[in-house]
């Protein structure tokens, strides 16, 4: 299993004991941007990869190849409400042929596949601010943006035209 720690450290620290208790998870590797090891991580049962070690296109290509050869069955991604490693986690999900699960900041998780489309849609709508009580306000703001922009452009044109006619 490969875990991508792209959120607060406590999420991985809470997840690791449960993963190690499963007989199938004898090896859990971690990809992170943090220094140090998370509490509960067993270096005897996994390896840590850090983003800072794979800067540049050639290094990333080498990393993707190495991770593909390791043959991971499962890839876990922390998708908390923080912008940590946004590009890394989706690039790794694309490059590593494994079944992907997504863990949110509440400790809930779901498998990333077509049968979970309702859960993924709800997750995306929630992240975009389009669910719950804020949804209507967000949609109305999105609808009003072109009109506000048109008004501001028209006002700026009016002011500049008026200034040009005075001179």
List pLDDT tens digits, range 134-164.
777 878 888 999 999 999 999 999 999 999 9
* 120 and 143 housed in the same domain: no
* 33 and 113 housed in the same domain: yes
> What's residue 158's pLDDT?
96
Average pLDDT over residues 38-59: 90
pLDDT higher than 90, residue 103: no
Domain residue limits at 150 = 133-167
* 63 and 141 housed in the same domain: no
Total structural domains within the chain: 2
**CATH number assigned to the domain comprising residue 62:** 3.40.50
| Measured distance CA(116)–CA(9) in Å, rounded | 26
DSSP 124-151: HHHHTT-STTHHHHHHHHHHHHHHHHHH
* 60 and 110 housed in the same domain: yes
DSSP the chain: -EEEE-S-HHHHHHHHHHHHHSTT-S--EEEESSSS--TT--GGG--EEEGGGS-SHHHHHHHHHHHHHHT-SEEEEE--SS-TTHHHHHHHHHHS-SEEEEE-TTS-EEE-SGGGHHHHHHHHHHHTT-STTHHHHHHHHHHHHHHHHHHHHHHHHHHHHHHHHH-
Is residue 6 within 8 A of residue 77, CB to CB? The reply is yes
Q: Is pLDDT larger for residue 117 or for residue 161?
A: 161
First vs last C-alpha separation in the chain:
72
* 85 and 146 housed in the same domain: no
> What's residue 57's pLDDT?
93
pTM of the model: 0.69
> What's residue 145's pLDDT?
94
């Amino acid at each position: 299993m490969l875990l991508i720690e792209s959120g607060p450290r406590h999420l991985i620290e809470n997840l690791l004991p449960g993963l190690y208790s499963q007989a199938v998870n004898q090896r859990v590797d971690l990809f992170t941007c943090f220094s140090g090891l998370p509490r509960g991580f067993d270096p005897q049962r996994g390896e840590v990869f850090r983003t800072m070690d794979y800067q540049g296109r050639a290094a990333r290509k080498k990393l993707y190849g190495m991770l593909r050869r390791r043959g991971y069955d499962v890839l876990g991604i922390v998708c908390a409400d923080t912008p940590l490693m946004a590009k890394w986690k989706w690039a790794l999900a694309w490059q590593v042929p494994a079944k992907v699960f997504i863990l949110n900041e509440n400790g809930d998780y779901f498998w990333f596949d077509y049968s979970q489309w309702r859960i993924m849609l709800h997750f995306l709508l929630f992240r975009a601010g389009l669910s719950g009580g804020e949804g209507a306000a967000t949609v109305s703001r999105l609808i009003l943006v072109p009109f506000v922009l048109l008004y501001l452009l028209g006002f700026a044109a009016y002011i500049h035209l008026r200034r040009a006619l005075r001179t």
